[in-house]
Amino acid sequence: MKNARLLITVVAFCFSAFGVRASMPVNPDRPYSDLTCSYAIERLKEAVAGSPLQSSKEQQRTVQYAIEQVERACLEDAGRTDDLPKPQRK
pLDDT of 66-88, one tens digit each? Answer: 999 999 999 877 776 556 566 66
Read off the amino acid at residue 72: R
Q: 54 in a domain, yes or no?
A: yes
Residues 41 and 68: beta-carbon distance below 8 Å: no
Q: How many domains does the chain have?
A: 1
Q: What is the span of the domain harbouring residue 66?
A: 27-77
| pTM summary value | 0.60
Q: 36 in a domain, yes or no?
A: yes
Q: 86 in a domain, yes or no?
A: no
Q: 71 in a domain, yes or no?
A: yes
Q: 58 in a domain, yes or no?
A: yes
Mean pLDDT of 17-46: 80
Q: 5 in a domain, yes or no?
A: no
Report whether pLDDT(10) > 70: no
Question: How far apart, in whole angstroms, are the C-alpha atoms of residue 10 and residue 4?
Answer: 10
Least confident window among 14-23, 28-37, 64-73, 78-87: 14-23
